[in-house]
A = this chain, B = another copy of it.
Amino acid sequence: MKTGKYLSQLLTGALLFACLQIQAQQTDYTIKAVPFTQVKFTDQLWTSHIETNRTVTIPASFKRCETTGRVKNFQMAAEKKDKFCTVFPFDDTDIYKTVEGASFSMAVHPDKKLDKYVDSLIEIVGKAQEPDGYLYTARTIDPLNPHAWAGKDRWVNEHDNSHETYNSGHLFEAAAAHFQATGKRNLLNIAYKNADLLVKTFGNDKLHVPPGHEVVEMGLVKLYRISGKKEYLNLAKFFLDQRGQRKYDPKSANPWENGSYWQDNAPVIAQNEAEGHAVRAMYLYSAMADVAALTGDTSYLSAIDKIWSNMTGKKMYVQGSIGSIPSGERFGGDYELPNSTAYNETCAAIGNAMWNQRMFQLHGDSKYMDVLEKTLYNGLISGVGLDGKSFFYTNAMEIKHSFSHSAMERERSGWFECSCCPTNIARFLPSLPGYVYAQSGNSVYVNLFISGSADMTVNSKAVKLVQQNNYPWDGGLLFTVNPASSLDFALKIRIPGWAQNQAIPSELYNYKTRSDSKIQIKINGTPTEYKMEKGYAVLNRNWKKNDRVEVNLPMEVKRVAATDKVVNNIGKVALQRGPLMYCAEWKDNYGLASNIIIPVGAAFTTEFNKELLNGVMTLKAPAIFINVDDAGKKISTEEKKVTIIPYYSWANRGKGEMTVWFPEKIKYVDLLSN
């Protein structure tokens, strides 16, 4: 039976992919993620999200691709007739991204009907491809259609407005996932044909252009890993190096004028700040990590190290979101993290998770996983409602009555005209198991604490690692190590920064509540000494069947303060418990949330409420509420209990006020007449 199981696994695309990967290249990340196909979840929080994604989000996403005309665009491109019938030329990618999500999903949850449907879509996609491999329905239908953002000639607007290589990139990512999940080559061949056209078109003595919206670089790397075709990797590198060649006005503060909007203001290896459109930035930095790993080029590495330090040291919200500025969906300046207008695109959070996993694979440091965990449990998953079919494009830090007329999203939407975020969620969630474990030589990394199991091969021996916990609600972690037979290896368990009095990111935030930072680890019930290495508790021993490792992470409520350089958080605290950031919503707090002061010393109690928001740990404390009388001329102060909930779960009960930051005391009031 055991053999049978391994055999059946051998037949999956995942392993096939892994084999091809080894054959294809010499150099790559020394630390490799344990593929998501080897990891099963049994926890409550993520299993529920992934299952909802499978049963609700992905089908709804395909349905919307049909009803909005996205599928029809491919059909019309095939027939070269009618009019492009959606709004954006990159609407093609919603199909690719949903196919990618469906593929990830099918890999662990086979579904013949879905498989057949995906094949039918791939057929439609294939027909829309021009004979030489070009695939961009808006231009194929009508090159002069203004919605194509292209031009009479292909790629002439690529450097700023068209998304021709962007569409290619998502095609490649979807094709890689589809092949990996199903072993089928129907989408992969379409992708290859398109990639070959790019290889033929772009290069040193050919067309030069920086991709207008990065992602093709990541996609090319994935095709390279599958095919071993060096040209794909070279083209990815070529595209990276095209940035910073155009002439802009370096004195201008306007990101479109100085080129930073597109990360085009300097050659990538000379960049040292997280700048411009945040999603573009995340895909760029991810591709730089990939190319650095695959080529050993240290100049990319050195640049993304600096950029990462800038982003996490100066440009990240306390709930892990990035890209603060609505205009241009982009990074602001250092410490420019306003709460009232925080943009925080869901796609940027997803890109940030992708980038941080790559940074971890390059450096083996837990600080990247600390950022990834923070993003994942807060500003990323807040992007989808508990129903799996309502989404945030942006993720607010506060909603006040005074902002009732602002552009900030106060409730989730079914889809968006620009619907990148819902389909990005659809593809990200089923790939999440691939973020939990990693291996490098004799080391096994545990990065996330999600109940379930992972099947690995360590030193050619099968090892099953089982996690049982009630994380993120409880800090007690239990790991059962099950090697096929006893085996020496290092189990490296991430000890989160937050569990050691280190707020994340630690340059921007700090804890006003400090706890004993030494974490006890028991092996088979006996406390054990361990050393810390790059943020991991290293347990190096001869592991035997059913060895039990217990770790207890402290779960007190923490008051988080921001550096004074984030001016609008001075005098305020955010609240954290475990990896979760919390917020107050109007619903639990007498109708408002902007009127709450949580004084220094107010003691919190915790209470798990399984009826609430699919089950959440709520926090309560005595607080001060400021109220305005009905005549609008008197203000009073009242002591009452505040109830706070995990940030990710807000906006699932209608719309109203919400806040992440609470004043501990106030200096002034702003009078709002509306």
Contacts and interface: CB of A to CB of B under 8 A. Distances in A.
Interface stretch (A248-256, A293-301, A450-458, A510-518): A248-256
Given A146-B251, A161-B257, A670 B670 contact: yes
B250 A673 contact: no
A403 to B, nearest CB: 10
A659 to B, nearest CB: 10
Contacts of A668: 400-402, 592, 594-595, 628, 672
Given A666-B673, A667-B674, A251 B87 contact: yes
Report how many copies the assembly holds.
2
Where chain A touches its partner, the secondary structure class is loop
Q: Among A149, A671, A672, which residue has the most Cβ atoms of chain B within 10 A?
A: A671
Contacts of A367: none
A438 B568 CA distance: 52
A635 B635 contact: yes
A665 interface: yes
A147 interface: yes
A464 to B, nearest CB: 51
Interface in A346-396: none
Q: Among A147, A633, A670, which residue has the most Cβ atoms of chain B within 10 A?
A: A670
Contacts of A2: none
Given A161-B249, A251-B147, A327-B327, A597 B665 contact: no
A45 interface: no
Given A631-B665, A633-B666, A665-B633, A595 B251 contact: no
A637 interface: yes
Interface residues of A, number: 52
Nearest to A670: B670
Given A160-B257, A597-B671, A626-B635, 14 more contacts: A400-B670, A402-B668, A570-B674, A571-B673, A594-B671, A595-B669, A628-B666, A632-B665, A633-B637, A633-B665, A635-B637, A663-B672, A663-B673, A666-B671
Contacts of A673: 570-572, 663-667
A599 interface: yes
Given A571-B674, A637-B633, A628 B669 contact: yes
Contact of A671 (B405, B669, B674): B669
A432 interface: no
Nearest to A570: B674
Nearest to A599: B633
Contacts of A250: 146
